[in-house]
Amino acid sequence: MKKEELPQDDSALKVMTRELCYVKDADGKYTTGLSTGWAVKKEALDNAWEDINERIQHALLAVKNGEKSPIYYFMELKLMDMPVLSGYTGFWSFTIKRHLKPSVFKKLSEKKLSIYANAFEISVDELKNFKA
């Protein structure tokens, strides 16, 4: 692909990053060029973000219905899974699963809530008083 043919389609990541691509210059030699995105890649990213937003809405509904604790919502919002949250908090996965139960969450100490709040980059108050 020639450098002037390098796609510059808008994408969700346009303001955050550019993709480095190898292209041919006017002399036919390989060089690098920056692309803001390709239409196909944009569509794939848009689909992925739709799925993520659905998961966040599902988590919000689960908290609102009293099925899960706010930890579940913030875990989805921050794009974390159990191993990642475990790594940030130092809690075992089975412990986090227990903390996802609203009845167990209500009994958590300030220290444990603080650990979760730090992992989610929110205040303890935001975590404790989350309104779905």
- Residue 132 lies inside a defined structural domain of this protein: no
Number of structural domains the chain divides into:
2
Query: For the whole model, what pTM was predicted?
Result: 0.76
Q: Examine the domain organization and report whether 80 and 18 are in the same domain.
A: no
Q: What is the pLDDT of residue 14?
A: 67
What is the mean pLDDT, run by run of 10 residues, along the chain of 132 residues?
A: 71 70 84 78 84 97 97 97 97 97 97 97 95 76
Residues of the domain holding 31: 3-37
CA neighbours closer than 13 Å in the CB half-sphere of residue 55: 15
Could you tell me if residue 111 is inside a domain?
Answer: yes
Residue 95 counted as domain residue: yes
Tokens of 12: 């969700």
> Helix axis angle, 39-64 relative to 70-77, nearest 10°?
170
What does the pLDDT read at residue 13? Answer: 62
Residues 48, 30, single domain; the answer is no
- Report d(CA 45, CA 13) in Å as an integer: 9
| Predicted local confidence at residue 88, as pLDDT | 97
Based on the fold, state whether residues 54 and 7 are members of the same structural domain.
Answer: no
- Do residues 59 and 122 share a domain? yes
